[in-house]
Structure 1
Amino acid sequence: MIGLSLSGVRSVVALGAHPDDIEIAAGGLLLSLPEGVTVDYVLATGVPARQAEARAAASAFLSKAGSLTFHLHDLPDGRLPAHWNETKEIVEAAARLGTPDLILAPSTDDAHQDHRLLAELASTAFRNSLVLHYEIPKWDGDLSRRNVYVPLTPDQGREKVALLHEHFPSQKARDWWDDEVFLGLARIRGMECRAHYAEAYTLTKSLLTF
């Protein structure tokens, strides 16, 4: 397996439709980012209490970041396609911040309409950045084949799950919110890349330089 390095990443835009999307999907990657990285954290939906959870969670996952800027919006959950213009402006505003090294966005094959719209908009707004499309486990059963893996040690995997539990208490009553879901998927993705745990992403386009 050919390895690519994120050690040179200095700026990141993390796009999420809902509070907890980014941390569930890419929490391990956030914990692995180089110290001093600049992060713009963008959410399209969220009531104040959920946005407060997201602020606390992102601050914990990105404790080594040089700067962390929040761009939190309150479009209605589950209705982003009906607010296409506003959602487009959220993504375009993030793109106008500069040319980040890395974009984290939902997957274009995600079954949730909010996630899928953000994924489609990210690919057109960020044409000169590396875009990694993340996956979110859910009852829709939309997990599929991925082509980029971020390996995690056992300690990193457990730290990710502990931070999810700590910072998103509003979600603990959900029947899918437990260690077995998060670590089970991480173990499967780890097996696929010969690591203990891993997160998996899709990369649709990149530039190979020499």
Structure 2
Amino acid sequence: MIGLALPDGPLRVVCLAAHPDDVEIACGGTLLALAARGGVEAAYLTLTGDLSRQDEARTAAEAFLPGATSVFGGLPDGRLPDRWGEARAVLHEHAERVPAPDLVLAPRPDDAHQDHRLVGTMAPTVWRDALVLHYEIPKWDGDMGRPSTYVPVPDALARRKVELLDACYASQKAHDWWDHEVFLGLLRLRGMECRSRYAEAYTVTKSVLSLGRGTP
């Protein structure tokens, strides 16, 4: 395995979600690790969600990455492909608010859920010069793929992630897939794949490798 690293110093991060809770389910450990790193300016965009769910999402953003800002697109849940033009406009508006991010977290472009898939497909075409990490979300569809990039998550942060998910998203706790075994189980599986106890995994569709000093 080859280790990659984000640049030292302040980071500007864009977190894209089709629905409230997408980012924290998929990337909660990564977000907590970024918060511990410090110097992170995070801007969330969530395309759907009624007012009560927006309140949950704002609370979660602040809990995982203190100081994060949250913007909502107000589009209908489950219908984003029907609102393609509006969804793209919302993403471009966010790109104008947050120019030149260092990192964009977005759904996988091959996610089985139509809303996730649309956001994941659009993200790299809107943020062409940023590193886009496409995250995975466990769900009924059984669409887990083969990730290419891993972020090890310390044990304490993995457990903090699942605690914060429960605390911030009380409206979701009745779902049969919402429990610590699901979340920690996926963290453990991805950790095993990268020789860590826990990890979160991503796919990268395009990246640029710098060969170091003296290269063009």
- Which residue does 1:152 correspond to in 2? 153
TM-superposition CA deviations, 1:6-37 (whole Å, max 9, x none): 35361001000000000000111111113121
- Which residue does 1:56 correspond to in 2? 59
- Which residue does 1:22 correspond to in 2? 23
CA distance in 1, matches of 2:7, 2:24: 20
Selected match of 1:39 from 42, 50, 54: 42
Relative to the length of structure 1, the TM-score reads 0.96
List gaps (5 residues or longer) in structure 1: none
- Which residue does 1:76 correspond to in 2? 76
SS in 2 for 1:49: helix
Q: Does 1:135 align with 2:136?
A: yes
- Which residue does 1:163 correspond to in 2? 164
- Which residue does 1:3 correspond to in 2? 3
- Which residue does 2:176 correspond to in 1? 175
CA distance in 2, matches of 1:151, 1:199: 7
List gaps (5 residues or longer) in structure 2: none
CA distance in 2, matches of 1:79, 1:6: 35
TM-superposition CA deviations, 1:39-71 (whole Å, max 9, x none): 1110000000000000001100002xxx42211
Stretches of 4+ aligned residues off by more than 2 angstroms: 6-9
Instruction: Give the conservation status (yes or no) of the 8 Å contact 2:61–2:69.
Output: no
Q: For residue 73 of structure 1, report the CA deviation from its aligned partner.
A: 2.1
TM-superposition CA deviations, 1:152-207 (whole Å, max 9, x none): 12111100000000000000000000011000011000000000010000011111
Structure 2 residue identity aligned to 1:46: G
- Which residue does 1:194 correspond to in 2? 195
- The farther-off stretch of 8-17 and 105-114 is 8-17
Cα root mean square deviation, aligned: 1.0
Aligned-residue identity in percent: 57
Instruction: Give the conservation status (yes or no) of the 8 Å contact 2:108–2:117.
Output: yes
- Which residue does 1:92 correspond to in 2? 92
CA distance in 1, matches of 2:129, 2:120: 16
Give the aligned length: 207
- Which residue does 2:113 correspond to in 1? 112
- Which residue does 1:208 correspond to in 2? 209
Q: Give the 3 Å change call, closer, same or farther, for CA 192–144 of structure 1 in structure 2.
A: same
Q: For residue 113 of structure 1, report the CA deviation from its aligned partner.
A: 0.2
SS in 2 for 1:184: helix
